[in-house]
Structure 1
Amino acid sequence: MMKVEMHMHTYYSSDGLITPAEARRVLNSGKVDVIAITDHDTIAGWKEFKGRKFIRGIEKTVEEDDGNRFHLLVYFINEKIKHTGFYEVIDDVREQDGFVAIAHPYDTLRHAPHEENLEEYGRYVDGIECINARMCVPHGNKRALDFAVKHKLVKIAGSDAHHWSEIGTAYVEADADDVEEFRKLLKLGRVSIKGGLSPIYVHTFSALRKHKLIGPKK
């Protein structure tokens, strides 16, 4: 079974610390088999995090009509998504034959959509992040899982790692031999989710990095 980390931030994210060497060290350990690169609104990391064990992705910030921002996880794309409106982003993903999921939809402390709009958004996305290892809101992951089941959306999971030690805390598992086969199974929903929550202190890494008090070990 292939284990895929679906949510990881490299040092190209303003709050990320993970370097290519650190990511490859985790891959070599066997903790996970493949890692999706999902930096905040940038694909700059693709040039360093490349190869058959990496999936090109992005955590895209989108805006609701009132200016509220939330995140979409996008995978299997070849160029940056430039729009910020939800429907325009969905169109961009479809043009690239990508896969799109709402990230941590019930984590109101970390860029979640307005709950009353979720039903509408659920009509257009492929999946829901049902396990986010950095979930800050009690029962947020359970509510996301319930929503995905109700609306027959693909369930995904990721650690939301910003430090290498977090990688693989939550992941997607599939009976695949390579990334292309995994992509096909993911789109069909023939995957399972595994994992739990990271220790609360991992948020310290992001805060210190964002305020430039620590940096990546290049």
Structure 2
Amino acid sequence: HVHSCYSSCSNLKPKTILKIARRLELDGIAITDHNTIKGGLAVKKENKEKGFEVIVGEEISTNRGEVIGLYLNEEIEKGTDFFEAIDLIKHRGGLVVIPHPFSFGLIRKSVSSLNAVRSKIDAIECFNGRCFFPWENSKAKKLAEKFNIACTAGSDAHFWFELGNCITMFEKKFSLIEAIRKKKTFVAGTIKCAYLGRGLSLIVKVYQNFFKNGKGID
């Protein structure tokens, strides 16, 4: 998953995202800004390349941590109850992805909470590029295996050098939706930019909130 300048902790503009994605020869990208789909819509509108998929998504801040909704056409409000957010994503035809469930320094999802909605979860992010420690991703992978749920990878990119650090792969005969539902995805990536990326995000967020009249979007 990727953040654009519509998240207050990122400076990635739609044109920049698409330019780098093409350079990396990616087949698609999921834009999941914090609590808004505006970034995804902007990147999708900017995309002119036939065959390149821009997935409109949102990383929703709930009372039990973050939840990603993919293929959304309507925003889900920040602070929505964890279980309600998942129901809203499903009701609106989206995919439910649990990002970085064991990420150090963030609100973690309890395994019991995830177990209660395991039948509604489409994928668990088993490789996140901003996890500080390898065990955070390995635990997420083990959880996906335990729940018999598909794995995805997310660079969690907020800056140009993070784009493409983690990728979700699947056979060309499948769409992403089909690959996730059939549990036919493979993940790969690196966490080498985690510290730098998170540090810069904090700087950008402070700048957005205090020097640009709070116009950044959480």
1:155 to 151, 158, 161: 151
Q: For the Cα contact (< 8 Å) 1:35–1:53, is it kept in 2?
A: yes
C-alpha displacement at 1:20, in angstroms?
A: 1.3
Opposite residue 140 of structure 1, the aligned amino acid is E
Matched with 1:57 is: 57
Matched with 2:182 is: 188
Matched with 1:146 is: 142
TM-score by length of 2: 0.84
Distance 2:31 2:76 in 1: 14
Distance 1:198 1:160 in 2: 13
Report SS of the residue matched to 2:66.
strand
| 1:20-31 equivalences in 2 (<5 Å) | 20-31=14-25
Q: For the Cα contact (< 8 Å) 1:31–1:168, is it kept in 2?
A: no
Matched with 1:202 is: 197
1:126 to 122, 127, 131: 122
User: Alignment length, in residue pairs?
Assistant: 202
Q: For the Cα contact (< 8 Å) 1:18–1:162, is it kept in 2?
A: yes
1:76 to 71, 80, 91: 71
1:91 to 87, 97, 103: 87
Distance 2:110 2:180 in 1: 26
Residues 1:116 and 1:90: Cα distance change in structure 2 (over 3 Å): closer
* Unmatched tracts of structure 2, length 5 or more: 213-218
1:172 to 150, 168, 188: 168
Matched with 1:136 is: 132
Report SS of the residue matched to 1:49.
helix
What does the per-residue CA deviation read over 1:136-194, in whole Å, with 9 as the maximum and x for residues that have no partner?
245110000001001101101111000011011111011237xx822222222221111
Opposite residue 141 of structure 1, the aligned amino acid is N
* Greater share of residues in helix: 2
What does the per-residue CA deviation read over 1:85-130, in whole Å, with 9 as the maximum and x for residues that have no partner?
1221122111122111111101141222234433324343111110
| 1:4-43 equivalences in 2 (<5 Å) | 7-43=1-37
Matched with 1:105 is: 101
C-alpha displacement at 1:49, in angstroms?
A: 0.4
Opposite residue 118 of structure 1, the aligned amino acid is L
Q: For the Cα contact (< 8 Å) 1:106–1:115, is it kept in 2?
A: no
Residues 1:79 and 1:201: Cα distance change in structure 2 (over 3 Å): same
1:211 to 200, 206, 210: 206
Higher RCO structure, 1 or 2 (CA under 8 Å, sep 6+): 1
* Unmatched tracts of structure 1, length 5 or more: 1-6, 65-69
**Identity of matched residues, %:** 28
Q: What value does the CA root-mean-square deviation take over the aligned residues? A: 2.1
Q: For the Cα contact (< 8 Å) 1:132–1:157, is it kept in 2?
A: yes
